[in-house]
């Protein structure tokens, strides 16, 4: 790779520190390696914070809350305007850092930083969202007033796949609503979040309002068990999210968890195949297939099967693998070598069960980066609904094809899934699209859209085992971080 495409200098972020009470603090916990998945080289070391360090972070956040909650909502949003400007100034550098620790292409990373900035913009509307209302004369000399009051200290357990965007789908809404916050980055991808926290440190937030504590499951458990926290936000796998949600409920805390997915990409015979193939390549293989909105099961209906199958495989075969900092690369590595091996194992089992690999990405040759965690685009035909690869989330660049005779068969396929995150349909028929929208029981629907991502001021849906909690992230999350206070008042 030309030197101009490499980080400058070759990445070495050293030992990462916690950010607590407005200070960067070294942890005495054990260290883990953070590995660039394209090169196989260690680019940082991240600590597992100790229980005492977690307790101190909660205590400081709790103390900061007592003052922050009384700051006017307008003043609470002002530091985020400064943060928006700093993110824009540093977005290329942040994107390059993101590529190095997570593996996605530089184009995907740039888009993620833009979406993260949009989250900040949306959160700046909190003064309008939380304004409440005042109704006069609901009875004789009786008025009603409803306000939104912040609850306290919340913590975040974000996913690895969007280390810039996902934390900012929650943190700014909580803080602008008057809560204080502790972010616990994924140990696989902590660097981008550290860099964003460095920018937050310049924006004028009072000490203790925003904090970052590194670690794994033990740190999450300590945050959950600490009586000083009010609740958590989580993005990740269904087993972990479901367990955390149940524990929060048992402790009387609030919980919200965006969890797994198995998204069906339905193609009708009347669809525009050029449009379908372009959208399918992005949906199934964008971000390495490591996103909750990714297509997972390709469902051609009737005569769409053979022409779609052939053109999809042809386009996927042309994708270039490599280090995502190379502008010509279409697909980077998956996030870790362990994840690569897990995905290989799922492909192996699918083939053992009878699936036919029309395109096999288990052992790609990436000459410049032999130590990378690469999985090539994989297309499996002959998949049946009972197979693991048709039922479980792969979270990798793997497409399972299940052709069906008609749309009712497609509905049955989607309905039998234990997940209810997303479903997409491609058709020229408005009536077919409207029927699909009405009948499919998922939280996010794409009509001639391969990745039905919402805007930052909206939210993501998720039904069945794809989400826990009735209040989700983004635009409606201020309801999660606040309580309604209702006052009836009479003055004679």
When computed from its CA atoms, the radius of gyration of the chain, rounded to whole angstroms, is 23
How much is the pLDDT for 93? 96
Give the residue from 179, 236, 283, 233 showing the smallest Cα distance to 474. 233
- In this structure, the answer to whether residues 346 and 419 fall within a common structural domain is yes
Token pair recorded at residue 354: 């009878």
- Do 177 and 304 belong to one domain? no
In the 8-state DSSP scheme, what is residue 193? Answer: H
Residue 77 to residue 284: CA distance in whole angstroms: 37
Structure tokens at 324: 């995502």
Active site residue 292: yes
Query: How confident is the model at residue 10, as a pLDDT?
Result: 55
Whether 164 and 16 map to the same domain: the answer is yes
The Cα 157–Cα 347 span in angstroms is 29
Tell me if residue 295 falls in helix, strand or coil.
Answer: strand
Residue keyed to tokens 């993620």: 112
Note the pTM of the prediction, 2 decimals.
0.95
Residue 340 covered by a domain: yes
pLDDT at 286: 96
Q: Are residues 247 and 306 in the same domain?
A: no
> pLDDT 10s per residue in the chain (492 long)?
434 444 444 578 999 999 999 999 999 999 999 999 999 999 999 999 999 999 999 999 999 999 999 999 999 999 999 999 999 999 999 999 999 999 999 999 999 999 999 999 999 988 888 888 888 888 888 999 999 999 999 999 999 999 999 999 999 999 999 999 999 999 999 999 999 999 999 999 999 999 999 999 999 999 999 999 999 999 999 999 999 999 999 999 999 999 999 999 999 999 999 999 999 999 999 999 999 999 999 999 999 999 999 999 999 999 999 999 999 999 999 999 999 999 999 999 999 999 999 999 999 999 999 999 999 999 999 999 999 999 999 999 999 999 999 999 999 999 999 999 999 999 999 999 999 999 999 999 999 999 998 777 788 889 999 999 988 888 788 899 999 999 999 987
Q: What is the reported pLDDT for 28?
A: 98
Residues 185 and 47 in one domain: yes
In a domain, 438, yes or no: yes
Is 10 among the domain residues? yes
- 290 vs 208: CA distance, rounded Å: 33
Report strand pairing: 467-468 vs 254-258: antiparallel
If asked whether residues 340 and 411 sit together in one domain, one would say yes
Q: Is 461 a domain residue?
A: no
For the beta carbon of residue 211, count every other beta carbon within 10 angstroms. 26
Measured between alpha carbons, how far is 265 from 424 in angstroms, rounded to an integer? 5
Please name the helix (run of DSSP H) or strand (run of DSSP E) that holds residue 219, with its range, or none. Answer: helix 217-225
Backbone angles phi and psi of 322, in degrees to 5: 165, -170
**Where do the H-state alpha helices sit in 5-72?**
51-68
31-35 and 42-47 beta bridge pairing: antiparallel
The candidate with the shortest Cα–Cα distance to 169, out of 481, 389, 468, 383, is: 481
CATH of residue 247: 3.40.605.10
How far is residue 191's CA from residue 46's CA, in Å, rounded to a whole number? 9
| Count of structural domains, the chain | 2
Between the CA of residue 417 and those of 6, 25, 51, 263, 433, what are the distances in Å?
42, 45, 39, 9, 20
Q: In terms of C-beta density within 10 A (0-12 exposed, 13-18 middle, 19 or more buried), how is residue 315 classed? A: middle
User: Residue 381 is part of a domain; what is its CATH number?
Assistant: 3.40.309.10
Q: Are residues 192 and 269 in the same domain?
A: no
Backbone φ, ψ for residue 346 (5° rounding): -70, -40
Same domain flag for 168 and 284: no
322: its two tokens: 């490599």
Judgement on whether residues 239 and 137 belong to the same structural domain of the protein: yes
Residues 283 and 190 in one domain: no
Strands 42-47 and 463-464: unpaired
Write the DSSP assignment of 230-278 as a string of letters. EEEEEES-HHHHHHHHHHHHHTT-EEEEE----EEEEE-TTS-HHHHHH
Kind and range of the H or E element at 35? strand 31-35
Q: What is the DSSP string of 324-354?
A: TTSTT-SB---S-HHHHHHHHHHHHHHHHTT
Beta strands, E only, 67-125: none
Q: Out of 124, 179, 203, 292, pick the active-site residue.
A: 292
User: Do 193 and 286 fall within a single domain?
Assistant: no
User: Is 460 a member of any domain?
Assistant: no
Dump the DSSP string for 361-397: -SS---TT-TTS-----EEEES--TTSHHHHS---SS
Domain that holds residue 432: 263-455
Judge if 323 and 445 occupy the same domain: yes
Distant-in-sequence, close-in-space partners of 482: CB < 8 Å, separation ≥ 6: 130, 148, 149, 150, 151, 177, 178, 179
Asked if residue 288 belongs to a domain, the reply is: yes
């Amino acid at each position: 790779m030309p030197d101009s495409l490499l980080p400058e200098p070759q990445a070495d972020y050293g030992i990462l520190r916690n950010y607590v009470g407005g200070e960067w603090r070294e942890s005495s916990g054990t260290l883990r390696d953070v590995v660039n998945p394209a090169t196989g080289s260690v680019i940082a070391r991240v600590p597992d914070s100790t229980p005492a360090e977690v307790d101190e972070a909660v205590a400081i956040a709790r103390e900061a809350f007592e003052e922050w909650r009384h700051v006017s909502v307008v003043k609470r949003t002002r530091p985020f305007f400064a943060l928006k400007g700093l993110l824009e100034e540093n977005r290329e550098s942040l994107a390059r850092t993101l590529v190095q620790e997570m593996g996605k292409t530089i184009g995907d990373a740039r888009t993620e930083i833009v979406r993260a900035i949009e989250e900040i913009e949306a959160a700046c509307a909190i003064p309008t969202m939380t304004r409440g209302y005042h109704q006069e004369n609901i009875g004789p000399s009786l008025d009603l007033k409803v306000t939104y009051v912040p609850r306290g200290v919340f913590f975040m357990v974000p996913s690895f796949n969007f280390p810039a965007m996902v934390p900012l789908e929650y943190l700014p809404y909580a803080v602008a609503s008057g809560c204080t916050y502790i972010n616990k980055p994924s140990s696989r991808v902590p660097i981008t979040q550290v860099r964003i926290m460095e920018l937050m440190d310049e924006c004028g937030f009072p000490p203790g309002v925003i904090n970052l504590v590194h670690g794994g499951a033990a740190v999450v458990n300590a945050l959950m068990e600490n009586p000083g926290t009010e609740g958590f936000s989580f993005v990740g796998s269904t087993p972990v999210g479901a367990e955390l949600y149940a524990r929060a409920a048992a402790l009387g805390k609030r919980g919200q968890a965006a969890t797994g997915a198995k998204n069906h990409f339905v193609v009708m015979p009347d669809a525009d195949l050029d449009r379908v193939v372009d959208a399918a390549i992005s949906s199934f293989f964008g971000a390495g297939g490591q996103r909750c909105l990714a297509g997972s099961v390709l469902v051609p209906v009737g005569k769409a099967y053979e022409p779609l199958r052939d053109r999809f495989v042809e386009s996927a075969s042309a994708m270039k693998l490599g280090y995502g900092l190379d502008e010509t690369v279409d697909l980077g590595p998956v996030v870790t070598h362990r994840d690569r091996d897990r995905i290989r194992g799922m492909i192996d089992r699918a083939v053992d069960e009878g699936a036919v690999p029309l395109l096999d990405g288990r052992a790609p040759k990436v000459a410049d980066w032999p130590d990378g965690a690469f999985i090539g685009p994989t297309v499996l035909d002959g998949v049946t609904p009972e197979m693991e690869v048709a039922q479980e989330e792969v979270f990798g660049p793997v497409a399972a094809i299940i052709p069906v005779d008609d749309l009712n068969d497609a509905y049955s396929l989607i309905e039998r899934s234990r997940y209810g995150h997303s479903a997409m349909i491609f058709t020229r028929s408005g009536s077919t699209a409207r029927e699909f929208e009405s009948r499919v029981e998922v939280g996010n629907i794409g009509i001639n859209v391969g990745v039905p991502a919402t805007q930052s001021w909206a939210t993501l849906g998720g039904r069945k085992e794809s989400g826990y909690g009735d209040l989700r992230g983004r635009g409606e999350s201020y309801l999660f971080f606040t309580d309604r206070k209702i006052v009836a008042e009479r003055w004679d």
